[in-house]
């Protein structure tokens, strides 16, 4: 089955950290642009961070720069998001995504080749 499966979400206090994981099954991420998106209750889906398939460059939403780090492990066919200094406004369902054609995956919000079901991150005191 071709799919992306996220894990690592949970509840954390402000200032805390979480590490999200996304594992692909049934296909290799090697030639895909990959990234993390999130959707908070009542808000639009937004890109968080992406890795380009062209040059492995990374980009981040302004709201997470300096706090979040995206990485990949080709041997595990996986994508990660290390989230530090979490804030209540980071509360959302986090999804991973992959697309073969898009160089900058974070430039789109819909239409990716693969989309995970998501993992919930709640930041609250």
Q: What average pLDDT values come out for the chain (125 residues) when binned by 10 residues?
A: 96 98 96 96 96 94 98 97 98 97 91 96 97
Per-residue model confidence (pLDDT) at position 116: 97
Is 105:50 a contact under the CB 8 Å cutoff?
yes
Burial of 18 (0-12, 13-18, 19+ CB in 10 A): buried
Q: How many CB atoms lie within 10 A of CB 1?
A: 6
Give the per-residue pLDDT at 96: 98
């Amino acid at each position: 089955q071709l799919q992306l499966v996220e894990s690592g979400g949970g509840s954390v206090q402000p200032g805390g950290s979480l590490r999200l994981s996304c594992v692909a099954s049934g296909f290799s991420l090697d030639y895909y642009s990959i990234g993390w998106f999130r959707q908070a209750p009542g808000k639009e889906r937004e890109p968080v961070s992406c890795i380009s398939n062209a040059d492995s460059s990374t980009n981040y939403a302004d709201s997470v720069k300096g706090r979040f780090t995206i990485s990949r492990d080709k041997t595990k066919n996986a994508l990660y998001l290390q989230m530090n200094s979490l804030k209540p406004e980071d509360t959302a369902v986090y999804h991973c995504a992959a697309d073969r054609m898009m160089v900058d995956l974070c430039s789109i919000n819909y239409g990716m080749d693969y989309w995970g079901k998501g993992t919930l991150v709640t930041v609250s005191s």
